[in-house]
């Protein structure tokens, strides 16, 4: 009986350049750990961006028709990795903790299950 771990990493940012930079840093970290063939990559999944529109009155007393509009775009990416042992997963999480991903929100989700290898 062996255990399988799937780590889902969701990256959120307002800046696409910072998002791509942190995505490449995580990919390099993963490649340094996966040289031992203990991990497998699922790939990067681009998620739809969230937009929020805000309208602000320039002068609330005189000109009610004078307004400014702002748009905030939040880009998202989902990266999934599969680990075959807990040691490789722990090394990856320690390395992820040491990365500097400024301006990027990182959300982690870990799933695990047991499976049996049947030999005939």
Question: Is 55 domain-assigned?
Answer: yes
How many angstroms from the chain centroid is the CA of residue 74?
13
Question: Is 103 domain-assigned?
Answer: yes
Angle at Cα 108 formed by Cα 104 and Cα 111, nearest 5°?
160
pLDDT of 51-97, one tens digit each? 999 998 887 777 777 889 999 999 999 999 888 888 888 999 999 99
**Full-model pTM:** 0.77
Question: Is 71 domain-assigned?
Answer: yes
Segments forming the whole domain that contains residue 79: 2-112
Burial label, 31 (beta-carbon count in 10 A; 0-12, 13-18, 19+): exposed
What the block records as the tokens of 51 is 């937009």
How far is the C-alpha of 92 from the C-alpha of 80, rounded, in Å?
A: 13
CATH code of the domain in which 13 resides: 3.30.70.600
Domain count along the chain: 1
Question: Is 118 domain-assigned?
Answer: no
Question: Is 72 domain-assigned?
Answer: yes
pLDDT at 63: 74
């Amino acid at each position: 009986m062996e255990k399988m771990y799937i780590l889902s990493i969701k990256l959120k940012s307002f800046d696409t350049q910072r998002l791509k930079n942190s995505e490449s840093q995580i990919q390099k970290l993963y490649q340094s750990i996966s040289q031992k063939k203990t991990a497998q990559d699922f790939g990067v999944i681009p998620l739809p961006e969230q937009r929020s529109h805000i309208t602000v009155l320039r002068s609330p007393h005189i000109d009610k028709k004078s307004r400014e509009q702002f748009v905030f775009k939040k880009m998202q990416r989902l990266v999934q990795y599969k680990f075959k042992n807990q040691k490789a997963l722990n090394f990856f999480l320690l390395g992820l903790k040491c990365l500097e991903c400024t301006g990027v929100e990182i959300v982690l989700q870990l799933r695990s299950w047991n499976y049996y290898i049947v030999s005939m």
